[in-house]
Structure 1
Amino acid sequence: MKLLLTSGGITNDSIRAALVELLGKPVEESRALVVPTAQWGHPMCTPESVWRTVAGRWGGDAHFADLGWKSVGVLELTALPTIGEERWMPWVREADVLLVDGGEAVYLAHWMRESGLAELLSSLRDTVWVGVSGGSMVLTPRIGPEFVEWRPDGTDETLGLVDFSIFPHLDYPGWSFNTSENARRWSAKIAGPAYAIDDQTALVVDGTDVRVVSEGRWEFFDGDPGGSSRA
């Protein structure tokens, strides 16, 4: 897969240009599936917030389902085990992009495994994964206990499709935890490479290439407690 891992969605022209580059064609010619599943696992999310995601009613400068896709559908992972792979797998294979919303990343990882979507990802070579917050964090090795809200077994481990972790919503206004100082403390406990990214930043992963696209602030932690580089 090709990955566009964001904190806040498509929030600026640079991130949108990266999306179009990964798609290899205009947004208006691309078919999207929205995956809202992570929201059900997070106490801050509600049926109203799920509706806003699916309906493209986020508001502000952030865009997701409302980018002008050729078509938009909903893929609810909790339903997939009850309907059979012969129905839902063609929907996924025919999509150009999976729009994976935020929420609880451990919960999302659980339902990706239970539904069979996690196993399918390696075969989706041309599909673009656009993650928002928890929808990006789910592809990392672990998210840190600070971000775990769903604790059936206490783990903070996720899918590990990339080899770095993500601290989202860096210095987001009014969010007391998501500060640069806390990001550095969090990274020291992750024991691996990690990025802290704000809502104007995205990580682009295409094969083995990882690059940062940003009109905001981000910081990279190399896994060494004494070292980091910041932009």
Structure 2
Amino acid sequence: MKLLLTSGGVTNPSIEAALVDLLGKPIADATALCVPTAQWGHPMCGPTSVRRFVVGGLPDLGWGSVGLLELTALPTIDPERWVPWVREADVLLVDGGDATYLCHWLRESGLADLLPSLTETVWVGVSAGSMVLTPRIGDLFVEWAGAPDDRTLGVVDFSIFPHLDVFPDNTLAAAHEWAAGIGGPAYVLDDESAVRVVDGEVDVVSEGQWHRL
């Protein structure tokens, strides 16, 4: 997969240009599936915030078509139905919430097993939608009571501390303390920044602040 791991979404022209480059075509010619599942695992999210994501934000960038993929429903559907939906999409727009809850449903749904074969698909993550691809998120970001620990999918070899200076507790000092317990490399991103990963090559796209710890 081609990864655009954002903190706050496609929030500026530089991140949007990176997205278009990853797609290899204009946004208006691309098909997208939005995945709101992570929101159900976070106590600050609910029907209103899910609706806000589905009808605005990433899905409202002017895609050729946009569909909704709810991971909690996939175990009840024959894979012969939903796998083609995923394979035919140019991009998966994966929203934030709780990354451990999202990780659980990526595995339960079978989508996690499908990801390695989606070599041309673009994954655009927002907050937890980005963090779920990392090895660990740290206890600071675990909000789902059902989480066994802070481990996630480990598709990439670094962790992400999102929303730098957006919330009172998301300070650089807090990020350094968090990173000390992660035990691996990490990126600290504000909402104007994103990490891009293509064929194992990692770089940062930003019109704001970011740090590598």
Fold similarity call, TM over 0.5:
yes
Return the match for 2:192 from 192, 195, 200: 200
In structure 1, give the amino acid aligned to 2:27. V
> In the TM superposition, what are the counterparts of 1:145-184 in structure 2 within 5 Å?
145-172=139-166, 175-184=167-176
In structure 2, give the amino acid aligned to 1:32. A
SS at match of 2:61: coil
The alpha-carbon deviation at position 153 of structure 1 amounts to 4.8
TM-align CA RMSD: 0.7
> In the TM superposition, what are the counterparts of 1:81-160 in structure 2 within 5 Å?
81-160=75-154
SS at match of 2:59: coil
Deviations 1:170-192 (A, max 9, x none): 011xx221001000110111000
Q: Distance in 2 between matches of 1:180 and 1:5?
A: 19
Q: Is there any run of 5+ residues in structure 1 with no aligned partner, and where?
A: 57-62, 222-231
The answer (yes or no) to whether the contact 2:101–2:147 under 8 Å persists in 1 is no
The answer (yes or no) to whether the contact 2:100–2:147 under 8 Å persists in 1 is no
Tell me which residue corresponds to 2:13.
Answer: 13
Deviations 1:46-77 (A, max 9, x none): 10100011111xxxxxx411000000000000
Tell me which residue corresponds to 1:55.
Answer: 55
Tell me which residue corresponds to 1:32.
Answer: 32
Deviations 1:183-231 (A, max 9, x none): 011011100000000000000000110000000000101xxxxxxxxxx
Percent of paired sites with the same residue:
68
Tell me which residue corresponds to 1:219.
Answer: 211
The answer (yes or no) to whether the contact 2:41–2:144 under 8 Å persists in 1 is yes
The answer (yes or no) to whether the contact 2:75–2:109 under 8 Å persists in 1 is yes
Q: Distance in 2 between matches of 1:13 and 1:154?
A: 38
More helix by share: 2
Tell me which residue corresponds to 2:41.
Answer: 41
SS at match of 2:136: coil
Q: Distance in 1 between matches of 2:153 and 2:71?
A: 15
In structure 2, give the amino acid aligned to 1:96. D
SS at match of 2:60: coil
